[in-house]
Amino acid sequence: MTQQEFYNKLNNSKTSFSQKETADLNNIISEFPYFQAASFILMKALYNNNSSQYKSKLAHTAANIPNREQLFNFIYSEYSIQNNHTEKSSPSKPLNTTIKSSKEITKPQALQNKKGEDIKSKADLIKEVKDRIDEVEEGRLKAKVESVKEKVEEGRLKAKVESVKEKVEEGRLK
């Protein structure tokens, strides 16, 4: 397969493939396993010729290329790989456009401490954050203390109930 034939096959997916061309493509890929364009053309050739090797080669090719969607489109549609080279044009003049905003932009509100005073410095902000953290921790500690007190009270009540039960049983036994 000549270089020109290769480019024609790559750019025109409607062409048919002979057994010799398929064998040539296999040889190229065995020599250059990461030559993606040759892999694309080989997959198209195997698909068009209803080859028994198609499924196994497709799995291998799909694992070795970065864009499986492009491979799918090349094989199953009238898709050809285009040269993505674009020439840079001279910069165009910017269009005169106006942007209309539906939302009014407002200034952010100042942070306030518990007393309602604005926090103006970083030190004030740090102090306020520490105070609030201390309050949260204190609240958690109070909740734990209350929980422990409840458990202790439950334990005392259970102990009293047990002692009353024992006394009642002793009274019955006597």
- Least confident range from 47-51, 69-73, 82-86, 113-117: namely 82-86
pLDDT of 13 reads: 62
Q: Which is more confident, 102 or 157?
A: 157
Q: Specify the pTM.
A: 0.42
CA gap 71, 44 in Å, rounded: 9
Query: 36-40, 90-94, 106-110, 167-171: which has the highest mean pLDDT?
Result: 36-40
Please report, as a single letter, which amino acid is at residue 75.
Answer: I
Mean pLDDT across 50-78:
84
Note whether 39 and 54 are within 8 A (CB): no
- Please, which pLDDT band fits residue 174 given cuts at 50, 70 and 90? low
- Which residue pairs from 33-39 have beta carbons closer than 8 angstroms and sit at least 24 positions apart in sequence? 33/64, 34/64, 36/64, 36/65, 37/6, 37/10, 37/81, 38/6, 39/64, 39/65, 39/71
Note whether 61 and 43 are within 8 A (CB): yes
pLDDT of 173 reads: 54
